[in-house]
Amino acid sequence: MTTFTREEVAKHSTAKDLWTVIDGDVYDLTDFADMHPGGAVPLLDAAGKDGTKLFYSLHRGSVLDRPPYAKLKVGTIVNYAGPAGDAATTVPYGEAAGFWRMHSPYYNDSHHRFRAAIRTFIDAEIRPTAVDDDLKGKAPSLELNMKLGDAGILAAVVAAAPQVEMLGFTALPGGVTPAEFDEFHELIISEELKRLGCYGLADGLLGGFSIGLPPLLKFGSQELQARLCPPIIRGEKRICLAISEPYAGSDVARIKTTAVLSANKQHFVVNGVKKWITGGTYADYFTTLCNTSQGMVLLVIERDDDTVDTRAIKTSYSPAAGTSYVQFIDAVVPVANLIGKPGMGFMYAMANFNKERWGMVAGGNRLSRLMVEECFKWAGAREVFGKRLIEQPVIRQKLAAMVADVESVHSMLEDLTYQMTQMSEEEVNKVLAGPIALLKYKQTRVATMIADNACQIFGGRALTQSGMGVLVEKFNRSYKMQAILGGSEEIMADFAIRQAMKQLKPHQARL
């Protein structure tokens, strides 16, 4: 790569011969000026000079890694010492405590290896196009899904189930063994995926898988697991959970989809509709709650173009999530695809909810933390009325409120996660259902405040689907999804207190 002195760059300072320097790299913008989205004027402000400060006041650094910008680089500044400070230093409160604290009662070397491996994969395979894919609603490809399988990430999502190791999936990211794996590794997966800031895309990648496969691993027969689970965990097939209906969201008991046992008792005939099904648009299998004469059942329904119809639903976040309306029209389902026992479907579905809600808290709070990071960066760089935003007391007050609430949620999340590592699943469902619901309520209330404050800090840029505020704009379109999915805020709050009421003894109800 050619090197230049700053004096040589200074000679290229006109509209017909325009060079600038950004972080020590020299860019020839002469032919680019007419294509620049902001026109030629901002480029002329940096002509022949170091344009680093101006560039970062108007653009995200990732712009330089994408065409056509990357091709404009013609050299570097001789003896460039690099930007002041350590670029790798964590932005204050931009990472969870488990990442940066010097001493931790929860995390060990396996967790740090695991996080590093997950982050490396995501940054290499998903991040480069994530923002654009999320904006355009591009469905995650089967090729990428298989890469997730090859990397052991799909196995890791459900690695807490002992059947995963029995099925032969022992290669987990970072060299972590199934014996080492615990809920903190699961927490890390949720955090790292949401670190992208693309809620819809993240749900499209793992949302359906993470809630559709566990019931099969927990309650399905060995034959059913051996037949369906390997290709799903390898990423060759995709699965989703189909419970909600137009008639029943949080009120699961009101579902109307029916499964009628055939006269020869060899198969069920399923009719009904499901709505808001994450990943349903491209799923091969649907873990479906149905009504039968023996009570509710969970069935794995395989996609059939003649009897299973899926239609995309446009939501406030991204079509990349694959959110769909699903119709079952005389779908023939072998009895062998029954999960567990007849009449237990409702209980199996409820058993799945606690882990789902816990995972939603982990991912949702990581999205809020990303907003804290974005706001610290923007407030530290943006100048208004002669001062950086962060020097304005009103902005520091907003940052303080954001940090305090995000850290509070995370602290309770880590404590509940630790409790989960010490309990059986039965104990978790009995003891922690209320606290998990309460934390989900708190987390989504915090997200509402985060969305408001982040929007005010970024101003007009928070309303634009590109540029500096792109992630804030995405967050503002998606934070209410957190407050509805997996049980609405109001129901979570009420459920948590009703669970607490069961523990309130008559003699305690005295002042």
pLDDT in tens, 157-169: 998 888 888 888 8
Supply the pLDDT for residue 251.
Answer: 82
For residue 54, name the pLDDT band (cuts at 50, 70, 90).
confident
Where does 3-77 sit in CATH, by number? 3.10.120.10
Residue 132 CB burial class (10 angstroms; 0-12, 13-18, ≥19): middle
Supply the pLDDT for residue 508.
Answer: 86
Report yes or no on whether pTM surpasses 0.85. yes
Q: In this structure, which topology does domain 354-508 adopt according to CATH?
A: Butyryl-CoA Dehydrogenase, subunit A; domain 3 (1.20.140)
Q: State the average pLDDT over residues 418-429.
A: 93
Summary mean pLDDT of the chain: 92
Q: State the average pLDDT over residues 454-467.
A: 94
Q: State the average pLDDT over residues 467-490.
A: 93
Between the alpha carbon of residue 225 and those of residues 163, 206, 246, 261, the distances in Å are 8, 19, 30, 22
Strand, coil or helix: what is 278?
Answer: coil
For residue 271, name the pLDDT band (cuts at 50, 70, 90).
very high
Q: State the average pLDDT over residues 224-252.
A: 93
Supply the pLDDT for residue 40.
Answer: 81
**H/E segment holding residue 405:** helix 393-421
Q: Which range among 64-68, 144-148, 423-427, 431-435 shows the weakest confidence by mean pLDDT?
A: 64-68
Looking up tokens 């009504």 gives: 291
Where does 97-233 sit in CATH, by number? 1.10.540.10
The answer to whether the beta carbons of residues 10 and 48 sit under 8 Å apart is yes
For residue range 110-137, what is the model confidence (pLDDT) as tens digits?
999 999 999 999 999 999 999 999 999 9
**CA gap 285, 302 in Å, rounded:** 5
| The pLDDT of residue 155 is above 90 | yes
The answer to whether the beta carbons of residues 289 and 255 sit under 8 Å apart is yes
Q: State the average pLDDT over residues 185-190.
A: 96
Supply the pLDDT for residue 138.
Answer: 94
Supply the pLDDT for residue 66.
Answer: 75
**CA gap 317, 325 in Å, rounded:** 16
Supply the pLDDT for residue 61.
Answer: 83
Q: State the average pLDDT over residues 336-344.
A: 96
Homologous superfamily assigned to 239-346: Butyryl-CoA Dehydrogenase, subunit A, domain 2 (2.40.110.10)
* Domain residue spans of the chain: 3-77, 97-233, 239-346, 354-508
Supply the pLDDT for residue 88.
Answer: 52
